[in-house]
Amino acid sequence: MRKELSIKELEKKASEIRQDIIRMLEASGSGHSGGPLGMADIFTALYFRVLKHDPKRPKWSERDRLILSNGHIVPVRYVAMMHAGYIDKKHLLTLRKIGSILEGHPSVHKIPALETSSGPLGEGLSQACGFAMSAKLDGKDRDYHIWCLMSDGEQQEGMTWEAAMFAAKYRLSNLTAIIDRNNIQIDGNTEDIMPLDPLREKYEAFGWHVIDMNAHDMEEIISTLEEAKAITEKPVCIIAHTVPGKGVSFMEYDYKWHGATPNKEQAKKALGELQHES
Amino acid sequence: MNLDNAEIKKIRDGLGQGMAELGAEKKDMVVLVADTMESSRAHFFAEKFPARTIQVGVAEQNLAGVAAGLAYEGKVPYVVTYAAFLLGRPWEPIRTMIAYPENHVVFVSSHAGLATGQDGPTHQMTEDISITRCLPNFTVIAPADYEQARKAVKASYDLKGPVYLRGVREGTPNFTTEKTPFEVGKAQVLREGTDVTAIAHGYMVYWLLQIAEELKGKISIEVINLHTIKPLDEKTILKSAKKTGRVFCAEDHNIVGGMGSAVAEFLSQNHPVPMKLHGVYDQFTESGTPKDLWKKYKLDKEGTQEILLKFLKKK
């Protein structure tokens, strides 16, 4: 059994993960910054507290399944998986480079523990439904949990709502969706591009149990994720209120950092802020 | 083979029957439907195995997505609906979720080609072969009749990666028998000849056999049933083209990107010979009975023969 980290230690781990994300993105020169930084606390809570998993047995049949729908934030997952022991840290500076196992968008050919290959938006929830159905067919829906991480922007995809209907129809309570509600997408703020609100009411109307969550409060994240697992009536949707670019002052809330990476000087400044904070 | 009094049976019935039979042997087989249970013939399976039948409603992108998730977990999903919606609607999701990660999902269509009939061009899918064979890792199969469709379903279970099985709504001659061999990727030379190679998939194979019989003595036609369009049986095609020096392709599918294109892509680079690609000539047609459509667009035996003879007259 791995040692359980305290809240303080988890917060420190999240900061280390953010720092490695900056290093990774600076070396890559291509990729996304806002989403990975915003989701670092949730990924830390998942990999170091909530997930039932074993890095030594990545295909253990009773592991929790973590399905990343918005594949473009995969740098946060790569780094979290490095810290958890799935991926060797020697790959840190190889993101998006030819021959690297760290594809720009996740590929199960390169890293089977990613569960799915992804990137094109709106496709994760359907696949997560497939994983959840498989567990149901095997009578194992109480044995492990399916987590689907989505962006808020991809709630604009019709396919997401096809899956939302499906999960409610089949009462996939072994499925929890977590939406990164950071209010930005490539072209601007979600409510300007194509309004999503009232998002909570939409999921409720589709038959889901919805929980709003402050995604930068480690204690709240852990209790919310545990609560989601305990609900056995319906699929659960957690609306995770995140700050895009969290932890780096000049990236926070700015949609221009959705699909941009820091240069050397910006990376140095970002690392300074993150190290100071932790 | 039973050429003289072949019973009229539906290819889609063969696919449906095959799934029901396979389901009894394979407990990890799951069938997913999108509100076209009966017309796609998934009900044969569903009646026997309701617990392994998943109804997703009119939502073909989710249909593909749920299938992908099940396949990632080691289930073997058979996904069933009309060709246009099965493959056309969720093409990019299929590319990303199934073809790229090589998930073993079997797409079973009905309503391919003009043989769909009265529903009209929206439902007469004539680009399904083009859009599946251009995706890496796909196997593309268009069975020639009911019996071969049944066999193809069973063979598809042991393949790897995504598979497309092409189903047709209208009844057509069931000319192969239980004993006729079927091997994925192995084209069948059903009749040997020396003057021209005639290749088809689906029910048009039967027309070619009839034409070859009628013209015997005048023209010696080698008839090939190219039921597996991808992977292409290059060896058989090359051997025949070398022998006859001319290749005629016929299919109830757009000539752009279909089986004929696949044959032409191969021969043009390895053994160029004069070719004619017969099929739907890059157009949307219209409503009508399959018989009337076949006649008007020259996809029946008579029309196909006319085009073949015109091709053979060319020097």
Question: pLDDT tens digits, residue range B40-65?
Answer: 999 999 999 999 999 999 999 999 99
B278 shares a domain with B148: no
3-class DSSP assignment, residue A216: coil
Q: Judge whether B33 is closer than 8 Å to chain A, CB to CB.
A: no
Which of these three, B151, B174, B197, is where a domain ends?
A: B174
Are residues B12 and B146 both part of a single domain? Answer: yes
Q: Is A278's pLDDT higher than 70?
A: no
B231, B267: one domain: yes
In a domain, A1, yes or no: no
Q: Is residue B21 part of a domain?
A: yes
* C-beta separation of A262 from A25 below 8 A: yes
DSSP state of A50: I
Domain contains B229 = yes
Nearest to B67 among A118, A130, A158 (CB): A130
Each residue's pLDDT tens digit, B165-218: 999 999 999 999 999 999 999 999 999 999 999 999 999 999 999 999 999 999
Q: Is residue A195 one of the residues assigned to a domain?
A: yes
Is B182 inside any structural domain?
no
The ipTM value here is 0.97
Residue A191 inside a domain? The answer is yes
B179 falls within a domain: no
Q: Do B239 and B299 fall into the same domain? A: yes
Only one residue has tokens 């949307």, namely B284
Residue A37 belongs to domain spanning: 7-277
Residue closest to A46 by CA, chosen among A153, A178, A198, A194: A178
Q: Chain A residues with CB inside 8 Å of B100's CB?
A: 107, 117
Interfacial residues of A (vs B; Cβ cutoff 8 Å): 67, 107-109, 115-120, 122-123, 125-135, 137, 158-159, 162-163, 165-166, 169
Q: How many domains does chain B have?
A: 2
pTM: 0.97
B250 by DSSP, 3-state: which? strand
- Among B311, B277, B280, smallest CA distance to B121 is for B280
| Ramachandran region, residue B274 (left: φ > 0; alpha: ψ -120 to 50; beta: rest) | beta
Distance CA B21, CA B8 (A): 21
Q: Distance between CA atoms of B132 and B130, rounded to whole angstroms?
A: 6
Say whether pLDDT at A4 is over 90.
Answer: no
Q: Which residue of B has its CA nearest to A138?
A: B28
Number of domains in chain A: 1
Binary contact (B66, A133; C-beta < 8 A): yes
Percent pLDDT > 90 in chain B is: 98
Is residue A231 in a domain? yes
For B108-121, what is each residue's pLDDT tens digit? 999 999 999 999 99
A156 assigned to some structural domain: yes
Residues A265-272, mean pLDDT to the nearest whole number: 98
Residue B236 lies in a domain: yes
- The Cβ of residue A197 has, within 10 Å, a number of other Cβ atoms equal to 12
Q: Is residue A94 part of a domain?
A: yes
The residue among B117, B139, B174 that closes a domain is B174
Average pLDDT estimate for A161-187:
97
Per-residue pLDDT, A277: 73
pLDDT of residue A204: 98
**CATH code: domain of residue B223:** 3.40.50.920
B15 and B68 together in one domain? yes
Using the 3D structure, point to which of B174, B199, B232 is the last residue of a domain: B174
Which positions ≥6 away from A265 have C-beta within 8 Å? none
How confident is residue B3, by pLDDT bands cut at 50, 70 and 90? Answer: confident
Provide the CATH number for the domain around residue B47. 3.40.50.970
Domain membership of residue A112 (yes or no) is yes
The residue segments making up the domain with residue B13 are 7-174
CATH number, domain at A45? Answer: 3.40.50.970
pLDDT in the model for residue B315? 65
